[in-house]
Structure 1
């Protein structure tokens, strides 16, 4: 059997074939994308998570010196929900990476007490159990029934010293489940929290659709904390959006005209359907275009970034259109494909925004 390819070697081969200019763009974008942008709800998230950790650490009785006194109480759950693109996964990831209690987070065998598993789509409870075992360092070599898989999960949570389990994208498990499957999922979550041998604290994140199913679990409803990631408040958050543009442009070393960020912030928030994560991604993509083309960061680069992401023409591009505030960007960004009417009839004539070398393609008044 051949060995699995080494990721670092594969990346090194790819980078060795790239030009110096391309590698320069990659180097800058690594800094830009690696910059964490704090959000207004980070403090609430940290406080809720610290409360969960304290509960996990609480023993039944610290005055009696015997083995039974070391048994911990049933734990709590932290449920973090938000629309797609609000930045919940990135905020949780940064919290876990930087928390002093979670040293070694994400490294198998490091002894970190928290393990994250991203729930795949589609997913069954058995599939989740198999993925959990892999994350715990015990990949299955043969097929097993669902209850046997979860027996192993409970065993290896204890063997690995895992005290907190983070299930990300939980909606991939619950949204497509029938009534009987939901009941089994709820019982499994309860069993994780109240296990007499090894109770585990839960951090569950996903779309808001997971809330009703989780509230139906008494232990989560009674001892859980629900945190919702807010959408951008317009106009309240516009200054923060402008600061994101200016800050990331400064890291990248790209030119930004005076007052550009302030004037662009409303369009960017609208284009990102008021979701902080999507807005940041659009800034990343516009900056990459500016670096690659050697041009300033302006509405043309944002228009190109939006076109590359959605395929829409100028009339539905909020960085170009005169009536940009009337465009329903959710119909464009949330569908798997853009609506038929937003695509040019002839793909050979697609109205892609051009760099400064081919300026003048946008409709008049769009700037």
Structure 2
């Protein structure tokens, strides 16, 4: 979201980044674009069949269930289109699940509720304990043992926490399937992708080994600081026994701009433009804070990598991505408010002083 350099790939807009080893050559290309490697080929017919077999395995086998699947709704385009696909195309009997972590924007709940109503899906808003969430996110931002230069640990752990929350709720309700709208890049990092190229599988396995190690470290640190750690905060597995987690976007081509057009027309969906006037994706309030810290560390965030990858794969236009960054909301007042709410002003000031110095705008706001 935040740009820290004008040295970026002319083809995919990825910034030069020594931390991640991203360099821009004399032709203005990053190493990914310079190689001009074609995107991995996917066996879409087979993947679609696997998806439909999963649905068929539930439908008819469990006729007494009030719901065949729980669909996670965030208010964004991905979960909106996923809900449309499941309900309109496949006729699934669904329960919508909206998680309130205490750091969401109001539009998240408005959009998610509108989607559910338009699809005639009953839904619940599951509010996490605010005091626990403050401790949890302060821990994710400030715990030295899990901290990363790009602050990616916040979304890595939070994403797993949200999914485990949904799957535990589904188990308690007797719902056999949970559907998550993570995009293909996120699914790969979740270790849930199927039919990968050898290089991708190797990367996924390496990533999951790192996540497992970091999860053990995070759990131990939490227990030392706060006592017993609820399983869902740092889960070893994303789903408990008896619940199957399904990522539809590993079974169908991911076409974000087409998806947006469909959900606008079918669901009266409205983009959440809290991040940029040019909408590509949205998130919670915490996204702005960790992406700002990544910028202060002169690193691309995982979101930057996702956008550049989608440009290389031809699913997003380069002009759209550039417009997203050009029109991004870069105000720091909200970031200071979040840091104060989480009780980590001193930690943020130290981090900012070490990375960019005391002239930083957010540093000055936190010092006032």
TM-score by length of 2: 0.27
Which structure has more relative contact order (CA 8 Å, sep 6+)? It is 2
Structure with the greater alpha carbon radius of gyration: 1
TM-score by length of 1: 0.27
